[in-house]
A and B are shown apart, each in its own frame.
Chain A
Amino acid sequence: MRTGVERIRAVAVLPALAIGLALVLGAVIMILSSPLVDGFDLTLPVTAYQALAVGAFGSGNALVSTLVNATPLILAGLAVGIGFKAGLFNIGAQGQFLLGALSATIVAIALNGASPAVAIPLSLLAGMIGGLAWGFVPGFLKAFTGAHEVVTTIMLNFVAIQLVSYVISGPLRGAEVTFARTDDILAAELPILIGRDGHFGLLFAAVAVPLAWWLLYRSTIGFEIRTVGANPDAARYGGMQPKWITILAMSTCGLLAGTAGAGEILGEVGYMPASYGTTVGFDAIAVALLGRAHPVGILFAGLLFGAMQAGAGLMQVQAGIPVQMVSVLQAVILFFLAAELIVRRVLRIRAPGTGVEAELETVSRSYGEQTSR
């Protein structure tokens, strides 16, 4: 048995290295592009990263802003991570997030005159069900027709965008708004807990992480999910029903991403626009991979990406570095994680045997086999 510290070190060393290498590469890009910013400047990365850190951790409000940004990333990250454990690649967190946001908005607008004690729980529930439904469909199609979830979830993301556009610019368009959006959500607005905008939704992520951990590692269903993910045939021989586990896992993913969407609308935005620009569903893939599909890992990865998003604004103002640098950093982190084998060989790190590759063994390799489970 390895001790706890050794285990943490074995799991965390590669993500930490990936983050470090990404920061270095980000600095190189900043220096090379500095003539476009304000003349060639070797110290630009220092100014930029300093602003990024201050914007993310420099004050009480900055810390709260980090938490607010991290919350949907953690929830949607769990939605992708649980999929990985079940051997499913959920590219559809984006669509599930949108459906959660849309369903919560529909109920919240309908209950605008009601008391918050009724409106808040019902709107949240609607968001969860909306996300769940958008996760159920690809799960069902995978289980019973063999349609690969990567493609169906990508398609459903775009269907979700059109659906949101229709509902918000049509039946739900507000009475006194200048662009296509709903009226303000009143009764179902989540209360502020801490700081300027630390809303009640922060607690969803705080609750979801231990719950997901319990589900995966302490419950029978979680055991079945992980077994189906590792080897559907063995699971079938063991008396499990991979079809239903697949549907259950995808639905759970949808529920989590839907909760993230509901939380964003009810806690952060306060209304729903017809074209809701968000990349949370794709960032969630990065979060789940960086967190090695483990709930605790996803918590830290979500906090890291949340901090980067929170600090990006100050970085743009103080150092003139566009916020898109954050996406570049995320992609580079993922790149070094994906190239794990090579990074290990070059840096001579021993394999911890808990790589995310092991989790993904059945994911993209099953892409061509459209066999039902």
Chain B
Amino acid sequence: MDAIFDIPIIGVLIQFVVYVIAALPVVAPTIVAAATPIALGAMCGFMNGRSGVVNIGIEGMMLTAAFVAWWSASLAAQVVPNVGIGFLGITLPLLIGLLAAILAAMAVSAVHAWLSISVRADQIISGTIINIFAVGITGYLNLLISKQSPPSAGQFQALQLPGFIVNVPVLGFLLKSLIGVGPIGLTMLISVIVLQVLLFRSRWGLRTRAVGEHPKAAETVGIDVIALRYRNVIVGGVFAGLAGAYLTIEFGSAFQGEMTAGRGFIALAALIFGRWTPVGAFGAAILFTASIGLERSIRFAPPEGQLGEWLTAVPLQFYGALPYLITIIVLAGVVGRSLAPAAVGRPYERESKAA
């Protein structure tokens, strides 16, 4: 083995591959966990963007949902009995928190839909309003509530796979990383696949793509552009709600001001990098968080020899900036172009109304 590693350049490359494979079992669950809220946020952006509405307010929607999930679960824990079904750590207070988070994100989405579709306001301004408001109101309420130190309602638990599956070489490990997760993580995986199929194989998908690319043509074949956009934007809120709830009742069990920390924007980047498809966005989310996983791994267990010197010579912050740099490069069309749906950002005005 050492002989192969000593080959100039290629040896180091092989060493890198070996290092990554060795590190994978340790970092894979972290990568999937970090990618879950990003992929869910991207699904929200997907529902908006594909029907022709820009959403840069994903961050704010997620933050609102994260707060609402945590607070309502905590309130519920003080009122309703803390009964569980004994599976995935699902309890009544947590379910109430999840439901409240989804409803809250849908409500915020409805405001975004109203401003973007009916008022025909600038959609980027609408997103900015949502982001500023979310930081303000969650920070405001959190500070007031935390004085009374409310009890935590706990968090969802990961799916425990039976030992004989986990012990299957390669496949078992992959399954454990991907589906050995909590209910929101599982919902994310299912939604990615379902949305991908629906987008390209269903009437709804065809109509949504038509409305996002060429609303006028869609209207002439009898599609109600306004109604479809409203529906898609509000349903998109469900995913932002799940993303937010994931942070406070599945991944963790507490809320902190501004805890989304830019995940809503990374979600937007993942969506663009994934060429506006659910599976693409999920792949991008994994790739982006793998960059962070690699950074962790290098920080805590740097490889030995030449490779270690090279990897630790790169500033660790570079791995943090990598997803954004890649997105800029893709957007600029240097390596493969990512095109947004043609009608994104444009409010639709009916012909009959304009006449």
Contacts and interface: CB of A to CB of B under 8 A. Distances in A.
Interface of A: 29, 33, 36-37, 89, 91, 141, 145-148, 150-152, 154-159, 162-163, 165-166, 170, 279, 282-283, 285-286, 289, 321-322, 324-332, 334-335, 338-342, 357, 360, 363-370
B133 A327 contact: yes
A163 B317 contact: yes
B124 A363 contact: yes
Interface in B73-92: none
10 contacts: A141-B331, A146-B333, A147-B333, A155-B325, A158-B266, A165-B320, A282-B128, A331-B133, A364-B124, A366-B345
B53 to A, nearest CB: 10
Nearest to A158: B324
Contacts of B130: 331
Contacts of A162: 317-318, 320-321
A368 B321 contact: no
B315 A368 contact: no
B122 A155 contact: no
Interface in B35-70: 52, 54, 56
Interface of B: 52, 54, 56, 115, 119-126, 128-133, 135-141, 143-145, 147-148, 257, 262, 265-266, 268-269, 272, 315-318, 320-321, 324-325, 327-328, 331-334, 337, 339-346
A286 B131 CA distance: 11
A327 B343 CA distance: 32
A155 B133 contact: no
A367 B54 contact: yes
Nearest to B143: A322
A365 B145 contact: no
Given A282-B132, A338-B126, A155 B324 contact: yes
A324 to B, nearest CB: 4
A368 B342 contact: yes
Contact of A330 (B136, B139, B257): B136
A370 B144 contact: no
Contacts of B339: 370
Given A357-B122, A365-B345, 10 more contacts: A29-B140, A36-B141, A36-B147, A151-B331, A165-B317, A322-B139, A330-B132, A331-B132, A335-B133, A339-B115
A328 B52 CA distance: 28
B125 A322 contact: no
Closest CB pairs A-B (n = 4): A327-B136, A367-B345, A331-B133, A324-B139
Q: Which of A279, A364, A369 has the most CB of B within 10 A?
A: A364
A42 B272 CA distance: 48
A119 to B, nearest CB: 27
B321 A158 contact: yes
Contact of B128 (A285, A321, A340): A285
A346 B343 CA distance: 30
B265 A158 contact: yes
Contact of B315 (A37, A156, A166, A328): A166
B337 to A, nearest CB: 8
A156 B328 CA distance: 8
Contact of A334 (B125, B324, B331, B337): B125
B325 A338 contact: no
Given A158-B265, A159-B325, A289 B340 contact: no
Contact of B136 (A156, A328, A364): A328
B104 to A, nearest CB: 16
Contacts of B121: 338-341, 357
B272 to A, nearest CB: 6
A340 B125 CA distance: 12
Contacts of B148: 36
B324 A156 contact: yes
Contacts of B123: 364, 367
Contact of B135 (A158, A163, A327, A340): A327
Nearest to A335: B129
A325 B182 CA distance: 35
A150 B56 contact: yes
Given A159-B325, A327-B136, A365 B320 contact: no
B327 A155 contact: yes
A17 to B, nearest CB: 16
A283 B136 CA distance: 12
Q: Which of A283, A330, A340 has the most CB of B within 10 A?
A: A330
Contact of B120 (A154, A325, A341): A341
Given A327-B136, A334-B132, A338-B122, A368 B333 contact: no
B328 A322 contact: no
Contacts of A360: 122, 125
A332 B133 contact: yes
A166 B122 contact: no
B61 to A, nearest CB: 13
Contact of A141 (B262, B328, B340): B328
Contacts of B139: 322, 324, 327
Given A145-B333, A155-B327, A37 B144 contact: yes
A155 B322 CA distance: 10
A327 B339 CA distance: 34
A25 B88 CA distance: 41
A129 to B, nearest CB: 21
Nearest to B140: A324
Given A151-B272, A325-B140, A332-B133, A158 B128 contact: no
A286 B332 contact: no
B217 to A, nearest CB: 15
A335 B147 CA distance: 30
A282 B325 CA distance: 21
A370 B342 CA distance: 9
Contact of B132 (A154, A157, A286): A286
A147 B128 contact: no
B345 A334 contact: no
A242 B56 CA distance: 26
Nearest to A340: B121
A368 B340 contact: yes
Contact of B343 (A163, A286, A368): A368
